[in-house]
Amino acid sequence: MPLIGEDQFFALAAVLLSVVAFSFWAETRKWGQKIGGPLLILVIAMALANLRVIPHVSGLYASVGDVLVPMAIPLLLLRADLRLVFTESGPMLLAFVLAAGATIVGAFVGVFLIDMGTLEPQIAGTLAASYIGGSLNFVATAEAVGIKESAIYLAAFSADSVGAVLFLIVLMSMPAFAFVRRAMPSKFMDESGRSLGEKLLHHEDEPGSSFDLGRAANGIAISLIICALSSWITSMLGLESIFILIVTALSLAVANFGKKLVAHVGSDFEIGTLFMYIFFAAIGAGANINEVFGSAFPMLMFIGVMVVVHLVLLVVIGRFLKLDLAEVMVASNACILGPATAAALAASKGWRPLITPGMLVGLLGYAFGTFIGVAMTAIIGA
């Protein structure tokens, strides 16, 4: 049993927020700026969970994913100008297509190298779908290809969760490697790989840019209204799986057609970033390394091969196509883990121009991931 039980809500919340607070403090130091807040949060939370200080599973973690992430999306998108997105997101779309193709190639290489047993085609297709879209694609593809045995399902899900955290750690470490920076120079980073953040935004000072409690409350209220409307719409349609898509669509509608309303909002980006940092802590805590040293181990090895091929192809082909490293990182994140974490990565680095394009291309993964996973299952099993 962990030191802090899964039902000890306040103690567990205190640990998660302490980890987040430490990461914010670390980002004020040179060493913390090089590592990055999200990477610190993932590593510390995963360590605490695997050392049994905090649990791997808790209703609190589920609440973070179910409540704070949907709330963060409107807060991060309220100032997203779609006109600029569609004129400037071409490279991001290209990077995402490259990332999805690299994942598919990596999956086939993984099947060639790793034996996952009689259900290998179904497992490979399900994991590939998850790493092109997200967890909803994992669930949908597993159902579509007939993974019914709970032990296999849980093993695949455990490998998927641990692999996702390890992928994020490697992805966020990419700017630390000089050869990667040389292969894909970025206008969002300096020569040492340090994020330039706000220096690149060139936006005019927004009203209420300093913290204003009333403006902050307005932003949270608008976010909750958008989430409530999205929940009502998806319930009426019987399509709860597209909840995040509806939240994103309504957020973009408010951002582009309700600018007078948004003018009364303040500190939205900062609050949304805080929510996403808490989300990173919940992701890290959910990675149970012990569970992967059993039936899930071959699946984790498959994911490892798939991700390595994914990243190598991104660097090699990205250099040839002269892609921007920051855009490739956000697109890769959108592909492997979905739009929410792509937005979190961009927000944590101060890359505001990449948040909305990252969300949009991530939705493409949600839309096509299941179809690709089912098709891969058929091809591998043929």
What gap in Å lies between CA 228 and CA 335, rounded to an integer?
27
Torsion angle (degrees, nearest 10) of CA 359, 364, 367, 372: -130
Q: How confident is the model at residue 227 (pLDDT cuts 50, 70, 90)?
A: very high
Nearest to 132 by CA among 283, 313, 374, 334: 334
**Considering the domain boundaries, does residue 54 fall inside one?**
no
pLDDT at 149: 64
pLDDT at 339: 76
Phi, psi (degrees; rounded to nearest 5) at 189: -135, 155
For residue 78, what are its two tokens? 């309220």
**Considering the domain boundaries, does residue 189 fall inside one?**
yes
What gap in Å lies between CA 95 and CA 77, rounded to an integer?
21
Q: How confident is the model at residue 53 (pLDDT cuts 50, 70, 90)?
A: very high
- Percent of the chain, pLDDT > 90? 25
**Considering the domain boundaries, does residue 239 fall inside one?**
yes
User: Using an 8 Å Cβ cutoff, are 293 and 58 in contact?
Assistant: no
**Considering the domain boundaries, does residue 70 fall inside one?**
yes
Burial class (CB in 10 A: 0-12, 13-18, 19+), 320: exposed
Identify the residue whose tokens are 């929410």. Answer: 340
What gap in Å lies between CA 53 and CA 103, rounded to an integer?
34
Burial class (CB in 10 A: 0-12, 13-18, 19+), 233: middle
User: Using an 8 Å Cβ cutoff, are 337 and 167 in contact?
Assistant: yes
Question: What residues pair up with 189 in beta bridges, in sequence order?
Answer: 195
Instruction: Mention every residue, 6+ apart, whose C-beta is less than 8 A from residue 167.
Output: 303, 307, 336, 337
Torsion angle (degrees, nearest 10) of CA 41, 25, 335, 125: 0
For the chain, how many structural domains are there in total? 1
Please calculate the CA angle 370-374-377 and round it to the nearest 5 degrees.
Answer: 140
**Considering the domain boundaries, does residue 43 fall inside one?**
no
Entry field: residues in the chain = 382
**Considering the domain boundaries, does residue 28 fall inside one?**
no
CATH code: domain of residue 282: 1.20.1530
Nearest to 325 by CA among 316, 315, 333: 315
**Considering the domain boundaries, does residue 277 fall inside one?**
yes
pLDDT in tens, 254-298: 988 988 898 899 888 788 878 878 887 887 787 777 765 667 788
Range of the domain at 101: 60-199+211-381
Would you tell me how many other CB atoms lie within 10 Å of the CB of residue 176? 15
pLDDT in tens, 339-369: 777 877 887 777 878 888 887 788 777 767 8
User: Using an 8 Å Cβ cutoff, are 165 and 42 in contact?
Assistant: yes
The gap between the terminal CA atoms of the chain, to the nearest Å, is 45
pLDDT in tens, 200-218: 433 444 444 567 889 999 9
**Considering the domain boundaries, does residue 154 fall inside one?**
yes
For residue 311, what are its two tokens? 């990243």
